[in-house]
A and B are shown apart, each in its own frame.
Chain A
């Protein structure tokens, strides 16, 4: 189609089109393509959040079952792959999804900021002199750029806490995740961090789950109402499910009392797991 004209005294493009990269990278050059990537990685991360939460429910069965679950993850793909091979693939894929999700979110935010500033007499974000009256945008949609980074910070904290055992010190027992969770969450400040992060994640998911349908163009009057319902459902499940861990540990309903295997006796855990 025709090349566009330019208006000598009118608006000139804010974003000059850069060199077109070859397919499929050119899709990621456009904002809409980037939203697709954000939505697709969002779906992947949602899958991870839900599977991770369900896996952690093993904690309600006891130390042996949680240990067994962790072992199952390491041995995933059994006879086909070497031990921990598939787990590492999943971890790398997950890290890649996080990176893409964050890069697309950050770069699109920058584009929107550039498209809004200088239009503004106040400086910073687009503002009107009268108090901005949001009509449709809800709390969740306006805080995506806060809840996202909160989840990221929490993620790093969580890895250092329970994967690497940075500050549990001698209390961190490799191979006894049940004990590690109890030891970590027994500290009230840590429990509060988990609660805050879970609330932030659920708010993020509440807008994200609805938004991803729009981004991917999944829109049909036959089921459009269900998209909101699904967003509420998933956000609700993630909220209640993940809140249950810090709350129940704080309430001393999950603790190290009455264990069949002594804390740190990984050999006993293995032996008990064999019996299943």
Chain B
């Protein structure tokens, strides 16, 4: 038999962007400790629907920690207190019977609340559109290992590419800065040969776009702690260096390594 938990939830309810919003208290009784946090919310929503009330809106998709759709500030921490874990992968066994849990949306001015716990993170899409790609001829796949990539560089690029774009970094940041996300997206392409030709152009446009939405980094490191993919602060340093390099560089020499 698995343990059952009785919990009190304080959930942020907000009709839409123009509603000021408020906390609502719900009892979550008989929650199995094997459930995920989202499954627990599903149970509450079923109750609400049965009682002709409006269910709590929250974002989710893959529920296996890879898509970046789920969010939630749980007790003041993005994706909850568990390190390197998305909300969909957070198990109820991490909580104690009788706990009160506060559930809020990710907050930043660039993440306006759509409804309840759902926020619009499309400002991230604006950043990606402005340079988060490489320009290559598509068609037949080229031979594997055609372009040599140093092992360390490939590994680091892959670590950066692990970012799922969830926005926890922005939510956790007291400055509402998006440095961790943007720098991960930049490093993923800028660290390997395939990304070189557009490296400085990309850095400039993605950072410039980021800065039209988000605050300024003060190197607290909260983003890294909140990140479900443990993206490293090193990428922020790489971005800071490349951005000023991009401003200084004679682009006529951009083809030289």
Contact = CB atoms under 8 A, between A and B. Distances in A.
A in complex with B: yes
A89 to B, nearest CB: 26
A3 to B, nearest CB: 8
B233 A214 contact: yes
A42 to B, nearest CB: 12
Interface residues of A, number: 65
A112 B107 contact: no
Contacts of B23: 129
Nearest to A16: B212
A142 B129 CA distance: 33
B209 interface: yes
Contacts of A215: 219, 240
Nearest to B17: A9
A74 interface: no
Please classify the interface of chain B as helix (H, G, I), strand (E, B), loop, or mixed, using the class held by over half of its residues.
mixed
Given A5-B126, A32-B207, A118 B109 contact: yes
A133 B202 contact: no
Contacts of A211: 218-219
Interface in A131-148: 131-137, 141-142, 144
Contacts of B176: 112, 115-116, 119, 126
Interface string A11-22: 101111100000
B151 interface: no
Contact of A136 (B102, B202, B224): B224
Contacts of A218: 237, 241
A14 B73 contact: no
A167 interface: no
B216 A31 contact: yes
B225 A1 contact: no
Given A11-B122, A13-B212, A129-B23, 17 more contacts: A6-B126, A11-B112, A24-B247, A30-B207, A31-B211, A32-B244, A34-B216, A36-B244, A116-B176, A125-B174, A126-B174, A129-B12, A129-B102, A136-B222, A137-B174, A214-B219, A217-B239
B43 to A, nearest CB: 21
Contacts of B209: 4
A36 B126 CA distance: 25
Nearest to B223: A136
A136 B225 contact: yes
B243 interface: yes
A132 B109 contact: no
B110 A128 contact: no
A131 to B, nearest CB: 6
B177 interface: yes
A4 B213 CA distance: 13
Contacts of A6: 126
B122 to A, nearest CB: 4
A217 B211 contact: no
Contacts of A153: none
Given A11-B122, A213-B237, A1 B109 contact: no
A27 interface: yes
A120 interface: yes
Contacts of A116: 107-109, 174-176, 215
A35 B109 contact: no
Given A128-B76, A137-B174, A219 B237 contact: yes
B125 to A, nearest CB: 8
Contacts of A4: 126, 129-130, 209
8 closest Cβ contacts across the A-B interface? A217-B241, A112-B215, A115-B215, A219-B237, A112-B175, A130-B102, A136-B221, A137-B220
Contacts of A13: 126, 212-213
A166 interface: no
Contact of B77 (A14, A30, A133): A133
B81 to A, nearest CB: 8
Contacts of A24: 247
Contact of A11 (B111, B219, B225): B111
A30 B219 contact: no
Interface string B120-161: 101101100111000000000000000000000000000000
27 contacts: A1-B131, A2-B129, A4-B126, A4-B130, A7-B122, A9-B120, A10-B112, A10-B120, A11-B112, A13-B213, A17-B208, A32-B244, A33-B244, A35-B240, A108-B218, A112-B177, A113-B215, A115-B175, A126-B108, A126-B174, A129-B102, A129-B104, A137-B220, A137-B221, A142-B174, A214-B236, A224-B234
Given A130-B76, A130-B104, A117 B126 contact: no
Contacts of A207: 219
A229 interface: no
B205 interface: yes
A210 B75 CA distance: 29
B247 A27 contact: yes
